[in-house]
């Protein structure tokens, strides 16, 4: 039985021109014979919720899918290892898609005779030439006006190419929306260059348009905005959040989208400082109105540094229940690690914790490693095979103590550091930050 090939369908509402009711996608899967999917899973994109649709390829590995398409739509083709994006448009009623698989995964996709997709790929090529350089320079400058001015030659080159791009692909989604999101006018800068960029990097004209929010572009722009301009000052971080949220104007739908977007960026990115600023800003303004998001915020607030641990008790390799609170009481520092044997990052990082454990264990450091999301024998083989020396426990399916929900886990591995009293020291530490955290707290 082959693996599923996941095709993420991203519905992008663009413009209400004369459009067809649907677009027919004719797909052909080909490859080296190593991988033949039993099903293709097609998922309409939503910032908050996805609803997948399954399509079974024919005997010749072809498929036909008709989708409602009153507007331009973006698709991301993924099998969980590789992802490829393309656009379809209601003015292109038939779309021919070639999906190539090799070595057990998608290796490429091609779209035939689509001007929308051609424009999209041309835009991505321009963006990839300069965006990483601009991002790195923004981070290195750390708000320095004189330093930030150095980025103008790179930015001018990107803008120049965008201005050539727009007339060539006039009328396409990429020319009408994406290229305009990357153009900042700074001919008359007042109040300092860095301050000017803070105020003008995000265009209210685009961000106040509901049609803009079903693309990845606003997510990337807002993510880069916070990455470039956020810092250690709570008040300044709250001002950044206020500026982003003000892009919605009076549109309640966009306000809800922005809240979900900002929360997700900070949560999945593990940005404790910006989460603190966002929580405080929400509390001061009695927001958000969305009940589901408000519940997520309240649950995560209880897991931020300074709060007490939430108890979990799981069985170790000998079948003995191990309580997290008791482990904390017996050690100066305890690192809760939630990981999966199926996670590629975990397969690398978990064994790499051994030198750290050996270096600090005698000083009162312990690891409570909770394995999840794999059959018990697979977990046991990994633990014994890698000779993991700390407290290893296992999250059985449907167990009463569920560490995934208790600690609001969105990715593995997740590291949570506690002191002897069970107080949370860090909730979102990355692997490379662990030793410094231990050094700073082991003697206290």
Q: Is the peptide bond before 413 cis (omega within 30 degrees of 0)?
A: yes
Considering the domain boundaries, does residue 95 fall inside one? yes
| CATH label of the domain that carries residue 38 | 2.60.40
Residues 40 and 57 in one domain: yes
Residues 215 and 351 in one domain: no
Residues 238 and 178 in one domain: yes
Residues 186 and 286 in one domain: yes
Q: Please give the share of the chain, as a percent, with pLDDT higher than 90.
A: 41
Residues 297 and 320 in one domain: no
pTM of the model: 0.78
Closest-CA residue to 201 (of 174, 176, 220): 220
Considering the domain boundaries, does residue 16 fall inside one? yes
Considering the domain boundaries, does residue 308 fall inside one? no
Considering the domain boundaries, does residue 250 fall inside one? yes
Q: How confident is the model at residue 228 (pLDDT cuts 50, 70, 90)?
A: confident
Considering the domain boundaries, does residue 306 fall inside one? no
Considering the domain boundaries, does residue 33 fall inside one? yes
Check pLDDT > 80 for residue 90: yes
Q: DSSP states of 401-427 as a string?
A: S-HHHHTT--SSSEEEEEETT-BEEEE
Tens of pLDDT along 321-368? 999 999 999 999 999 999 999 888 999 999 999 999 999 999 999 999
Domain tally for the chain? Answer: 3
Average confidence (pLDDT) over 178-182: 77
Task: Give the relative orientation of helices 252-268 and 234-246 as an angle to the nearest 10 degrees.
Answer: 140
Residues 162 and 251 in one domain: yes
Domain that includes residue 237, residue range? 118-301
Residues 184 and 281 in one domain: yes
Which helix (H) or strand (E) segment holds residue 36: the answer is none
Check pLDDT > 50 for residue 46: yes
Check pLDDT > 80 for residue 17: no
Specify the pLDDT at position 425: 97
Higher pLDDT, 389 or 204: 389
Choose one of 82, 113, 144: the last residue of a domain: 113
Residues 276 and 329 in one domain: no
Residues 147 and 256 in one domain: yes
| CATH label of the domain that carries residue 384 | 3.40.30.10
Q: Please give the share of the chain, as a percent, with pLDDT higher than 70.
A: 84
Considering the domain boundaries, does residue 307 fall inside one? no
Choose one of 253, 274, 301: the last residue of a domain: 301
Choose one of 238, 266, 301: the last residue of a domain: 301
Tens of pLDDT along 295-322? 999 999 999 999 999 999 999 999 999 9
Residues 149 and 273 in one domain: yes
Residues 283 and 318 in one domain: no
Check pLDDT > 50 for residue 12: no
Check pLDDT > 90 for residue 400: no
Residues 252 and 387 in one domain: no
| Secondary structure of the chain in HEC code, one letter for each residue | CCCCEEEEEEECCCCCCCCCCEEEEEEEEEECCCCCCCCEEEEECCCCCCCCEEECCCCCCEEEEEEECCCCEEEEEECCCCEEEEEECCCCCEEEEEEEEECCEEEEEEEECCHHHHHHHHHHHHHHHHHHHHHHHHHHHCCCHHHHHHHHHHHHHHHHHHHHHHHHCCCCHHHHHHHHHHCCCCCCCCCCHHHHHHHHCCCHHHHCCHHHCCCCHHHHHHHHHHHHHCCCCHHHHHHHHHHHHHCCCCCHHHHHHHHHHHHHHHHHCCCHHHHHHHHHHHHHHCCCCCHHHHHHHHHHHCCCCCCECCCCEEEECCCCEEEHHHHHHCCCEEEEEEECCCCHHHHHHHHHCHHHHHHHHHHCEEEEEEECCCCHHHHHHHHHHCCCCCEEEECCCCCCCCHHHHCCCCCCCEEEEEECCCEEEEEEECHHHHHHHHHHHCCC
Q: Which two tokens stand for residue 371?
A: 């394995």
Specify the pLDDT at position 15: 38
Considering the domain boundaries, does residue 342 fall inside one? yes
């Amino acid at each position: 039985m082959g693996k599923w090939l996941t095709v993420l369908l991203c519905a992008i509402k663009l413009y209400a021109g004369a459009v067809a009711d649907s677009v027919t996608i004719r797909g052909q899967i080909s490859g080296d014979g190593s991988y033949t999917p039993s099903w293709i899973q097609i998922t309409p994109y939503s910032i908050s919720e996805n609803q997948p649709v399954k399509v079974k390829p024919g005997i010749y590995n072809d498929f036909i899918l008709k989708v409602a398409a009153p507007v331009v739509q973006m698709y991301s083709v993924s099998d969980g290892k590789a992802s490829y994006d393309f656009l379809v448009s209601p003015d292109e009623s038939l779309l021919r898609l070639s999906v190539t698989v090799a070595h057990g995964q998608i290796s490429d996709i091609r779209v035939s005779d689509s001007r929308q997709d051609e424009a999209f790929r041309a835009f991505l090529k321009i963006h990839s030439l300069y965006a990483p350089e601009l991002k790195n320079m923004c981070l290195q400058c750390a708000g320095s006006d004189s330093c930030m001015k150095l980025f103008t030659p790179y930015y001018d080159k990107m803008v120049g190419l965008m201005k050539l791009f727009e007339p060539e692909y006039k009328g396409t989604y990429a020319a009408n929306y994406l290229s305009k999101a990357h153009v900042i006018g700074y001919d008359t800068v007042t109040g300092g260059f860095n301050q000017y960029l803070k105020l003008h990097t995000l265009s209210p004209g685009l961000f106040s348009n509901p049609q803009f929010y079903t693309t990845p572009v606003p997510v990337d722009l807002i993510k880069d905005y916070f990455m470039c301009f956020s810092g250690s000052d709570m008040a300044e971080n709250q001002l950044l959040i206020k500026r982003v949220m003000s892009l919605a104007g009076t549109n309640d739908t966009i306000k809800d989208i922005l809240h979900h977007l900002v929360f997700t960026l900070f949560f999945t990115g593990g940005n404790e400082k910006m989460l603190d600023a966002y929580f405080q800003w929400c509390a001061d303004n009695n927001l958000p109105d969305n009940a589901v998001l408000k519940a997520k915020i309240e649950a995560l607030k209880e897991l931020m540094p300074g709060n007490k641990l939430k108890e979990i008790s799981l069985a170790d390799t000998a079948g003995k229940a191990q309580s997290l609170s008791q482990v904390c009481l017996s050690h100066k520092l305890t690192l809760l690690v939630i990981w999966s044997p199926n996670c590629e990052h975990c397969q690398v990082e978990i064994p790499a914790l051994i030198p750290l454990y050996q270096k600090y264990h005698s000083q009162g450091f312990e690891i409570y490693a909770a394995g999840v999301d794999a059959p018990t024998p697979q977990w046991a083989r990994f633990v014994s095979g890698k000779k993991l020396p700390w407290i290893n426990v296992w999250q059985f399916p449907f167990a009463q103590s569920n560490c995934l929900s208790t600690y609001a886990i969105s990715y593995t591995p997740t590291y949570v550091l506690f002191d002897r009293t069970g107080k949370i020291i860090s909730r979102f530490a990355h692997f490379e930050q662990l030793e410094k955290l231990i050094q700073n707290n082991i003697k206290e």
